[in-house]
Amino acid sequence: MLRSVTYRTYTTVATSISPISKTLSTAPTFDNIIKAIQNDTNNNEKSIPIINAWITSIRILKNVTFVDLNDSTTADPLRLVINNNINNEDTLHSIKRLNLGQSVSITNLQVQRTPDRQQAFEFKLQPTSQISIIGDIQPDYPLQKKNQSLTYLRSINPIFKHRTNYFKQQLKFRSFMEFQIHYFLMINNFIKVAPPIITGNDCEGANNELFKIKPTDAYLTVSAQLHLETLLNSTNKTWSLIPCFRAEKSNTNRHLLEFWMLELELAYIDDLEPLLDFIREFIIYLVKQCREHENDLLPRYYPNGVDDRETILTRWDSLIDPSKWNTVTYDDAIKKLQESGQDFVFKPTWGKALQSEHEKWLAESYFNGTPVFVTKYPKDCKAFYMKQTPENPETVECFDLLVPGMGEIIGGSLRENNSAKLESEMDRRGMNKRGELNWYIDLRKNGSVPHGGFGLGLERLISYLFGNHNIKDAIPFPRSADSQIKL
């Protein structure tokens, strides 16, 4: 019997099947309430049997009390307006006990459109309404003021930090970005795989930075790359987003012991150019999505020391413009640095790694605040698996993407797919003495293909786009060199 003549390509986009949960879409959450009143164009007012929410602000005026409520299903809080002359002793008593941070249930409200006010909708307390405190707070509840300092917020327990508008929006921003990353790669037929966290291999030569785990005699992975490469024959395009671990001593704004890395490998790539083109398309897609959803994503309040809304939007708009992206070879970058007349702490020297100050000057001064790919570094600056530049045995087919304020957020290369060249480079570096990477070399001996890929530090990207200049804010429970790990 003939099989179906519809040729099977691996297409994966969601279909006509409704993905909305009936259970959740009928719950009395703020997003559902707003949706209901927006859909009902005949009515500007609706009765709501019950709401559950947290109090984010209370303001008592002479005749009226404003209570801002948020159940975290919407970016903005909804305002509850209470007439202080309300004729209900119970309610008046309840109102006096209200405090910022409490969770409350309120029955029999009205919600109405208020297009002429700062809030587009507001709740009105009715004489029959009942307010119950579901979860009270302790006297030392640490979030009293609206705009507490970043230093203070970073110092308090994560159970409080994320209740502030700024950190809450950062959680949502990361969640949004993760989805958009997943969506973009899925649409473009990448296969997401789960490389192991527990591994026998050190991918990056990060020997002193490995976490050893007991009771196995193994390590926590520093990168998924080698494992992704093993799956390339099965997937053509593959990616993963996994936690990676480096027992680094550096306690900076750009380092974490535990960070999430998006890694991606592409088969049949034998030139850097399509790889850089793809990255530019990918980032531009992500930033366009941010721009499209800016009202959902950006905070209402910006603590001191982070970029404000305008700075962020200017950055996004600049990133969206493909003409603002630059590429420079390492050779040229060194020349530009040497000719800059700048007084660097480390003298720019061919053959040495670029220092933070060099990266900063390139992205911020020379390329005027735009992203720049630096390509073809000397081989001794980079990892063993990178492909030799055909016309120059001293350099490799690699790149770093540098951005202003953050430095490198992506690093990648073509991978050496010639087993003899790979082995000789490993010998030169004194690697693989015990044959522990023979399996990796063997990949090149069985249907090998030219390929390349990159790693993107998710927290660095989030931090750069969200404008907080500290990757410790881009992950809810940061693990860094000086953190005591209790939670």
Site for a copy of itself in 67-106 (CB under 8 A): 71-76, 101-103
- 350 versus 420: smaller Cβ distance to a copy of itself: 420
Question: Candidates 4-12, 348-356, 369-377, 423-431 — which segment interacts with a copy of itself by CB under 8 A?
Answer: 4-12
258-267 sheet: strands from edge to edge: 191-192, 237-245, 258-267, 451-457, 407-415, 398-403, 372-375, 326-329
Task: Work out whether 401 is an interface residue with a copy of itself (CB under 8 A).
Answer: no
Q: What angle do CA 253, 254, 258 make, to 5 degrees?
A: 110
Among 12, 43, 250, 349, binds a copy of itself (CB under 8 A): 12
Question: Candidates 146-154, 383-391, 420-428, 444-452 — which segment interacts with a copy of itself by CB under 8 A?
Answer: 444-452
- 326 versus 355: smaller Cβ distance to a copy of itself: 326
- 358 versus 460: smaller Cβ distance to a copy of itself: 460
Question: Candidates 88-96, 369-377, 400-408, 440-448 — which segment interacts with a copy of itself by CB under 8 A?
Answer: 440-448
- 27 versus 64: smaller Cβ distance to a copy of itself: 27
Site for a copy of itself in 352-381 (CB under 8 A): none
Task: Work out whether 121 is an interface residue with a copy of itself (CB under 8 A).
Answer: yes
Contact status, residue 153 vs residue 306, Cβ threshold 8 Å: no
By DSSP bridging, strand 103-113 and strand 121-125 are antiparallel
Contact status, residue 300 vs residue 76, Cβ threshold 8 Å: yes
Half-sphere exposure at residue 200, Cβ-oriented, CA atoms within 13 angstroms: 9
Among 216, 430, 433, 482, binds a copy of itself (CB under 8 A): 216
Contact status, residue 142 vs residue 156, Cβ threshold 8 Å: yes
Site for a copy of itself in 252-271 (CB under 8 A): 257-258, 260, 267-268
Closest distance to a copy of itself from the beta carbon of 424 (Å): 18
- 76 versus 400: smaller Cβ distance to a copy of itself: 76
351 phi-psi bin (left φ>0, alpha ψ -120 to 50, beta other)? left
Question: Candidates 119-127, 325-333, 335-343, 370-378 — which segment interacts with a copy of itself by CB under 8 A?
Answer: 119-127
Provide the residue count of the chain.
487
Residue 366: φ, ψ to 5°: -65, -45
Among 24, 64, 92, 156, binds a copy of itself (CB under 8 A): 24
Closest distance to a copy of itself from the beta carbon of 251 (Å): 14
Site for a copy of itself in 137-176 (CB under 8 A): 137-138, 141, 157-160, 162-163, 167-168, 171-172, 174-176
Burial of residue 485, with CB atoms counted within 10 A of its CB: 0-12 exposed, 13-18 middle, 19 or more buried: exposed
The DSSP result for 53-71, as a single string, is EEEEEEEE-SSEEEEEEE-
Among 231, 353, 381, 431, binds a copy of itself (CB under 8 A): 231
| Cβ count within 10 A of residue 252 | 13
Side chain identity at residue 328, one-letter code: V
Closest distance to a copy of itself from the beta carbon of 339 (Å): 33
Task: Work out whether 200 is an interface residue with a copy of itself (CB under 8 A).
Answer: yes
Q: What angle do CA 340, 369, 459 make, to 5 degrees?
A: 120
Task: Work out whether 8 is an interface residue with a copy of itself (CB under 8 A).
Answer: yes
- 362 versus 465: smaller Cβ distance to a copy of itself: 465
Task: Work out whether 420 is an interface residue with a copy of itself (CB under 8 A).
Answer: no
Q: What angle do CA 55, 102, 128 make, to 5 degrees?
A: 70
Site for a copy of itself in 277-336 (CB under 8 A): 277-278, 281-282, 285, 288-289, 292-293, 295-296
Distance between CA atoms of residues 312 and 292, nearest Å: 13
